A and B are shown apart, each in its own frame.
Chain A
Amino acid sequence: MTIELRNISKHFGALKANDSISLAIPPGCIQGILGENGAGKSTLMKIFSGFLRPDSGEIVFDGKPLTIHSPDDAIRLGIGMLHQDPLDFPPFRVIDDFILGSPGGLVPDRRKALADFNSLSARFGFSLSPEARVASLTVGERQQLEILRLLWLGAKVLILDEPTTGISQTQKEKLFATLKALADQGMTVFFVSHKLEDVEALCSRAAVLRQGVLVGSMEKPFDMAALVRMMFGKEVELAAKSSMAPGKKVLTVKTGSVGSIRLRIKDVNLQVRAGEVIGIAGMEGSGQDLFLRACGGLVEPAGGQFCLDESETPMNGKTYHEYMRQGVAYLPAARLEKGLVPGLSLAEHFTLSVKPKGVFIDKKAAAALSEERIAAFNIKGWPDSPVESLSGGNQQRALLSLLPEKAALILVEHPTRGLDIESTIYIWGKLKERCAAGTAILFMSSDLDEILRYSDKVLVFFAGRVTPLIASESLNVQKLGELIGGVGWDAFQGNSNA
């Protein structure tokens, strides 16, 4: 099936999200759609999948123009979309989630659905248990479930919106293999991403959007530098790794342990020194988030000693406020839910972040402070912009700008999840500035490239075990990927670096 998008335009108020975009895709093709955050990729795909109606333009299948009224319509025409946050039902059983939305009578034919599910699942080598709860699956497995469901409903075109955000390296490889197999069978795949390396690894063609306009397209092999220029309209350089001599101890963990009902991690030994960047890798749910939170006093450790500075007195059982007073800061992954206060403006956030003089707000000082911070952190927004109206990249900048100036240790969950290259580089630039001033950074990420590129040392979590600190120079993506998957652990006799 040949797909054509003809002169698609969509406005939101004064903003031209899509400006007369035309694109023709032959069958069996994996089409990459590149662009930084806010370039109009999502809008275009939402139009394609029936979420939005275009102001003008049409979608043509094999020469026949289509009208798509709803996502339900789209899937009946064979267009299935995999959303960035999987649109599924966490408390449901996998099989119920699979069945929901399929055509048919009052009582679903479970036996047939189960048989279809198992055969589809076997075809792609997925190991999903139909009776498990969706909530117990990883993001990668939830995507697999959604792909199976869309194929079952007869999708011939698959749209994937930023699918590699939040899934592990092995799951990414499996996803790419699946998509390639589907394309070989004549299916058309749209792969929307801001990650160049993913597009390079997977796609046969790429189109680049910038500010709602299609600025260019390219066939494989790709000229990466040219693609970057198209995306940003300028050259973007990655900062080189700067290493400095580590300073005094900032955080010492001795035989630390954390645990929940599902998981227990024992005997973690760790020393973080001023100016160091330490990356924590591991499959989602391996306990790295729990450990990171324990380092900041946000959950109580189950055992061991967590000491700050050169001090020998453990901080166990102290609250986050106690840790904060000692210079620890925490940046959560859920920026809007846990980091910022939706409904409050940037200016209000800044006002709350400094020590108040009295009860009343000094409007003049607050305005000056916000102007200064917004400029310093290059936030695209105004003092009175509510934080939820900012893009992900700008929310992360705002969070950074709220950190106290003299932090000894910054703990970060997924510093650049969902951000485009420019924001990623900016955020890490700011974090590195802090390091140069003697701040230590401990961060977790599911992006292996990010871990290898920015950290001095790496800590890997797998099934309740933790490696000693590994110098990142001695690792590469493959080796780290193996460690995360539980391969190559024989080299470590437990975690024993003191």
Chain B
Amino acid sequence: MTSDALLFGLSGVLSSSAPILFGVLGETISERAGVSNLAMNGMILLSAMGGFAASLATGSLALGFLAGAAIGATVALVVAIASISFKQSQVAVGYVLAMLCRDLAYFLGNPIMGMPGPRLNLSPIPVLSSIPVIGTLLFRHDIITYSSFLLIFLSWFYMERTKPGIMLKGLGENPRAAYVRGANVNRLRYLYTVAGGAIAGLAGPIYSLSVKAGWKGTISGLDGIGWIVLSITIFGGWRPFRAAIGAYFFSLLQWMGLVLQPLMPNVPSQVLQVAPFPLMILTLLLVNIGNAEWVERSLSHLPESVRRDIAKVLTALNATPPAALGMPFDKDE
């Protein structure tokens, strides 16, 4: 493989990660507030179809993205109403919505299946894009990929450096303590669930208007992405930068599957296509290995100084979910 091809490939990995990033960061925001939105898979399919349809009808890409965000927000609102106001299981509501939205996307998308439609153009950044290597890698993308870079930074800044952001983490960690410190817990949970849904909802049109432009029904190849998004949210430890690493890692694995195929003719292509999934699980296991009791016990034999360093690394790698994730809040209890 030439170095140019490698560069373009990696650049492609960055842009094909954009929808996953939007999904993961949206879900991260929602789960940090204490609400897990498991409807993700159906939501992305529905917003991909809806965004494409809206854009096709109006000829406007912006309206397509807006429609995707609106669909995401609406699905998230249903999750929020059921789980916050009616205190129902987020898992049950999420699963049912995931299936409903998927079937709805296929059914409603039938008339526009396979139609040619608008597509987002690349907007290389002047000057910067002509820098060797980095220019190709980072500055020859469409606007949505640039936004995905920005979103990582913004969500990190919001959660780590601003007061409402710290409160957001407090909502999912200990809503009672958040309440004592002046937060209207349930109202804020509504806000963040819907906002997270809107951000994740953008993942759909990013596929149908850019990464995998068009709507091809069941062969769009989007079914399953939502589940990957949910697992990368966990891999990311509910932290934006780590989540981003997870998203890029997964896209990289997928790309390598494609690249390796011609080089390894003896391996059935299905193996390489499926490989990213078990590899993702394996990584998740390795990252969280410090949780296991036998690891702790075996490490305790090491001398004090080494042990302390390893403990630091394992603690840093270890991802604990927000303590009150999935639990309804009622101040009078």
Q: Residues of A with Cβ closer than 8 Å to B? A: 51-52, 70-72, 81, 83, 87-92, 96, 99-102, 104-108, 258-264, 299-300, 302
Q: Report if A90-B323 is in contact (Cβ < 8 Å); known contacts: A71-B180, A100-B181, A261-B300.
A: yes
Q: Are B297 and A87 within 8 A (Cβ)?
A: no
Q: Which partner residue on chain A sits nearest B177 by CB separation?
A: A87
A258 to B182, CA, bound (A): 43
Q: Distance in Å from the Cβ of A265 to the closest Cβ of chain B? A: 9
> Which of B170, B174, B307 is within 8 Å of A261, CB to CB?
B307
Residues of chain B within 8 A of A72, CB atoms compared: 180-182
Q: Report if A89-B180 is in contact (Cβ < 8 Å); known contacts: A260-B300, A261-B314.
A: no
A90 to B300, CA, bound (A): 24
Is B301's CB within 8 Å of the partner chain A? yes
Residues of chain A within 8 A of B181, CB atoms compared: 71-72, 100-101
> Which of B161, B162, B177, B314 is within 8 Å of A89, CB to CB?
B177
Q: Residues of B with Cβ closer than 8 Å to A? A: 161-164, 166-167, 169-170, 173-174, 176-182, 290, 293-297, 299-301, 304, 307, 310-311, 314, 320, 323, 331-332
Q: Distance in Å from the Cβ of A456 to the closest Cβ of chain B? A: 31
Q: Distance in Å from the Cβ of A165 to the closest Cβ of chain B? A: 18
Q: Are B170 and A300 within 8 A (Cβ)?
A: no
A201 to B309, CA, bound (A): 43
Residues of chain B within 8 A of A106, CB atoms compared: 162-164
Q: Are B161 and A101 within 8 A (Cβ)?
A: no
Q: Which partner residue on chain B sits nearest A86 by CB separation?
A: B177
11 contacts between A and B (CB under 8 A): A71-B179, A87-B177, A91-B323, A92-B166, A100-B181, A106-B162, A106-B163, A108-B163, A260-B300, A261-B295, A262-B307
Q: Distance in Å from the Cβ of A160 to the closest Cβ of chain B? A: 15
A81 to B297, CA, bound (A): 40
> Which of B164, B290, B300 is within 8 Å of A263, CB to CB?
B300
Q: Which partner residue on chain B sits nearest A46 by CB separation?
A: B332
Residues of chain B within 8 A of A89, CB atoms compared: 169-170, 173-174, 177
Q: Distance in Å from the Cβ of A307 to the closest Cβ of chain B? A: 20
Q: Are A100 and B297 within 8 A (Cβ)?
A: no
Q: Are A261 and B290 within 8 A (Cβ)?
A: yes
Q: Are A87 and B174 within 8 A (Cβ)?
A: yes
Residues of chain A within 8 A of B161, CB atoms compared: 107
Q: Distance in Å from the Cβ of B182 to the closest Cβ of chain A? A: 4
Residues of chain B within 8 A of A83, CB atoms compared: 180
Q: Which partner residue on chain A sits nearest B323 by CB separation?
A: A90
Residues of chain B within 8 A of A299, CB atoms compared: 293, 297
> Which of B162, B173, B290, B331 is within 8 Å of A51, CB to CB?
B331
> Which of A108, A259, A261 is within 8 Å of B310, CB to CB?
A261
Q: Which partner residue on chain A sits nearest B294 by CB separation?
A: A300
Q: Report if A259-B173 is in contact (Cβ < 8 Å); known contacts: A96-B166, A105-B163, A106-B162.
A: no
Residues of chain B within 8 A of A100, CB atoms compared: 163, 166-167, 170, 178, 181
A401 to B157, CA, bound (A): 53
Residues of chain A within 8 A of B310, CB atoms compared: 261
Q: Distance in Å from the Cβ of B158 to the closest Cβ of chain A? A: 9
Residues of chain A within 8 A of B293, CB atoms compared: 299-300
Residues of chain B within 8 A of A261, CB atoms compared: 290, 295-296, 299-300, 307, 310-311, 314
Q: Which partner residue on chain A sits nearest B180 by CB separation?
A: A71
A154 to B332, CA, bound (A): 26
Q: Which partner residue on chain A sits nearest B315 by CB separation?
A: A261
Q: Which partner residue on chain B sits nearest A73 by CB separation?
A: B182
Q: Are B173 and A91 within 8 A (Cβ)?
A: yes
Q: Are A259 and B297 within 8 A (Cβ)?
A: yes
Q: Distance in Å from the Cβ of B263 to the closest Cβ of chain A? A: 42
6 smallest CB-CB distances across A and B, nearest first, come from A259-B300, A101-B181, A72-B182, A87-B177, A261-B311, A71-B180
Q: Distance in Å from the Cβ of B103 to the closest Cβ of chain A? A: 35
Residues of chain A within 8 A of B167, CB atoms compared: 100-101
Residues of chain B within 8 A of A259, CB atoms compared: 296-297, 299-301
Q: Distance in Å from the Cβ of A259 to the closest Cβ of chain B? A: 3
> Which of A87, A99, A260 is within 8 Å of B296, CB to CB?
A260
Q: Which partner residue on chain B sits nearest A76 by CB separation?
A: B182
A52 to B333, CA, bound (A): 10
Q: Distance in Å from the Cβ of B179 to the closest Cβ of chain A? A: 7
Q: Are B173 and A262 within 8 A (Cβ)?
A: no
Residues of chain A within 8 A of B176, CB atoms compared: 87
Q: Which of A71, A72, A101 has the most CB of B within 10 A?
A: A101
> Which of B180, B297, B332 is within 8 Å of A260, CB to CB?
B297
Q: Are B163 and A104 within 8 A (Cβ)?
A: yes
Q: Which partner residue on chain A sits nearest B300 by CB separation?
A: A259
A300 to B332, CA, bound (A): 41
Q: Distance in Å from the Cβ of B166 to the closest Cβ of chain A? A: 5
Q: Which partner residue on chain A sits nearest B320 by CB separation?
A: A91
Q: Are A101 and B173 within 8 A (Cβ)?
A: no
Q: Which partner residue on chain B sits nearest A81 by CB separation?
A: B180
A146 to B177, CA, bound (A): 11
Residues of chain A within 8 A of B314, CB atoms compared: 261
Q: Are B301 and A302 within 8 A (Cβ)?
A: yes
Q: Which partner residue on chain B sits nearest A12 by CB separation?
A: B332
Q: Distance in Å from the Cβ of A343 to the closest Cβ of chain B? A: 15
Residues of chain B within 8 A of A51, CB atoms compared: 331
> Which of A81, A88, A91, A107 is within 8 Å of B163, CB to CB?
A107
A99 to B294, CA, bound (A): 38
Residues of chain A within 8 A of B164, CB atoms compared: 106
Q: Distance in Å from the Cβ of A104 to the closest Cβ of chain B? A: 7
> Which of B169, B174, B294 is within 8 Å of A88, CB to CB?
B174
Q: Report if A99-B173 is in contact (Cβ < 8 Å); known contacts: A87-B180, A300-B297.
A: no
Q: Which partner residue on chain B sits nearest A303 by CB separation?
A: B301
A258 to B297, CA, bound (A): 8
Q: Which partner residue on chain B sits nearest A49 by CB separation?
A: B180
Residues of chain A within 8 A of B332, CB atoms compared: 52
